[in-house]
């Protein structure tokens, strides 16, 4: 099974005046950390809402510093189930985004015809320990 995994990252940015500036810098900074190894990961501004449901900017700016919510999307191939895809994506992205909190937002199965496989895209075989829960002894 092939899956598209969306991971939220909380990226700190320094010396900014506006939320728009913070988002642009956070996307650039994240792209530099991911490239060239994970150049197939799509980076977008995240979505935030208040407890009352009001839509908020993806960046919170205070004292010329910001915390920016970004959504990172990547396709993971040859996984057993959704949890497996989540672990592979978090591992691959987390290796390059050190000290940046990550949370998996969604995992959706994609058709094999829809996915464009590249030699650089990680497959599930790269994970060090396979998950054996639910298998017969």
25-36 per-position pLDDT tens digit: 999 999 999 998
Residues 126 and 53: their CA atoms lie apart, in Å, by: 40
pLDDT at 137 over 90: no
CATH code of the domain covering residue 103: 3.30.70
Quote the pTM value: 0.78
Residue 119 lies in a domain: no
Tell me phi and psi for residue 72, to 5 degrees: -110, 125
pLDDT at 123 over 90: no
Residue 133 lies in a domain: no
Residue 124 lies in a domain: no
Residue 20 lies in a domain: yes
pLDDT at 14 over 60: yes
Q: What is the mean pLDDT of residues 58-85?
A: 94
Find the domain containing 103 and state its range: 2-112
What is the pLDDT confidence band of residue 121, given thresholds at 50, 70 and 90? Answer: low
Residue 125 lies in a domain: no
Residue 71 lies in a domain: yes
Mean pLDDT, rounded, of the chain: 85
Look at the chain and report how many structural domains it folds into: 1
Q: What is the mean pLDDT of residues 44-73?
A: 94
Residue that wins the pLDDT comparison between 124 and 80: 80
Residue 131 lies in a domain: no
In percent, the amount of the chain with pLDDT more than 90 equals: 70
At 25 the pLDDT is 97
DSSP assignments along 92-126, one per residue: HHHHHSTT--EEEEEEEEE-TTT----TTSPBGGG
108: left (phi over 0), alpha (psi -120 to 50) or beta: beta
């Amino acid at each position: 099974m092939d899956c598209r995994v969306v991971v939220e990252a909380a990226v700190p940015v320094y010396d900014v005046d506006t939320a728009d500036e913070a988002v642009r810098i956070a996307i650039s900074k994240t792209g530099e950390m991911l490239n060239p190894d994970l150049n197939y990961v799509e980076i977008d501004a995240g979505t935030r809402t208040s407890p009352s449901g009001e839509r908020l900017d993806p960046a919170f700016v205070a004292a010329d510093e910001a915390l920016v919510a970004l959504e990172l999307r990547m396709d993971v191939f040859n996984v057993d189930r959704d949890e497996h895809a989540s672990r592979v994506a978090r591992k691959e992205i987390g290796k390059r985004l050190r000290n940046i909190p990550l949370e998996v937002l969604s995992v959706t199965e994609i058709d094999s015809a829809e996915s464009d496989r590249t030699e650089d895209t990680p497959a599930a075989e790269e994970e060090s320990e396979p998950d054996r829960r639910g298998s017969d002894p």
